[in-house]
Chains A and B, each alone.
Chain A
Amino acid sequence: MSKPKFVYVTYIRATPEKVWEALTKADLTEKYWFGYRVSAEGKPGDYMTAVSPAGRQAHHDPILESDPPRRLVYAWKPLYKDIPQEPPSRVIFELEPAKGQTRLIVTHDEFDEGSKIFEMISKGWPAVLSSLKSFIETGRGLEPSWTEEESKRAVQA
């Protein structure tokens, strides 16, 4: 088993049910995931899909585990143009109730040895998770904070 590349943790003032909804419903992700419509409501064997703000498909990845509202696992293979061809990696969301808040742990692992995609996305998760927290707690997501190059990629995706 390879070591996870990233482990991100954030505490959100909401129930795991509410955080789960925000992670899996496209109408909600659109408001904080920088315009991306990410849908992951299905069962294992169904697909997580993500559509970029420009309306292009950015992900079509199998859901590997789904245990609402505690654990969600899907494969991760961006479909952007000009992205290196690599086998899919894996994203794990764990939601734990913690003193009236939800402790959300995002682990991204199973990257290929020497993965380029890993370097490209390393800034993405902290931005998405901060925006998710802000969206759930205040009703508003954050402005995209990634670089121009990354936004260009998102538009071209």
Chain B
Amino acid sequence: MDAVFRALADASRRELLDRLRAENGQTLSDLCTRLDMTRQAVSKHLAILEEANLVATVRRGREKLHYLNPVPIHEIGERWIGKFERSRLQALSDMKKILEARDE
């Protein structure tokens, strides 16, 4: 779990996860084209994310595809969010989204 928090503690790495959430299964080149980071930096961040099991990779021919792996984050949620809190938190989160959208 330490590795997960360490990996998430960096804004660039969270951005990479956001990109994968928007489009799963991207190659290193796909990820580099839309980011303001060097290829080496992206590659290093991906290695840290993979080490923390937040990114899973699949080889397809010569390509290496990267997938967001939400299982460790799910486990963290399960550890601190109880069964009965979940629906109340969902309601609060929905309300926040609706109210913030209205302000825009």
Docked CA distance A47–B77 (Å): 34
Instruction: Check A3 against B75 for contact (C-beta < 8 Å).
Output: no
**A80 contacts chain B at the CB level, 8 A cutoff:** no
**A19 contacts chain B at the CB level, 8 A cutoff:** no
Instruction: Check A130 against B24 for contact (C-beta < 8 Å).
Output: no
Instruction: Check B86 against A4 for contact (C-beta < 8 Å).
Output: no
**B31 contacts chain A at the CB level, 8 A cutoff:** no
Docked CA distance A145–B76 (Å): 13
Instruction: Check A145 against B78 for contact (C-beta < 8 Å).
Output: yes
Q: How many residues of B contact A (CB 8 A)?
A: 22
Q: How many residues of A contact B (CB 8 A)?
A: 23
**B71 contacts chain A at the CB level, 8 A cutoff:** yes
Docked CA distance A133–B58 (Å): 22
Taking CB as reference atom, which chain A residue is nearest B25? A3
Task: In the complex, identify which listed stretch (A7-15, A20-28, A37-45, A49-57) lies at the interface while the others stay far away.
Answer: A7-15
Instruction: Check B75 against A143 for contact (C-beta < 8 Å).
Output: no
Docked CA distance A32–B25 (Å): 28
**A156 contacts chain B at the CB level, 8 A cutoff:** no
Closest 3 CB pairs of A and B: A7-B67, A126-B74, A143-B83
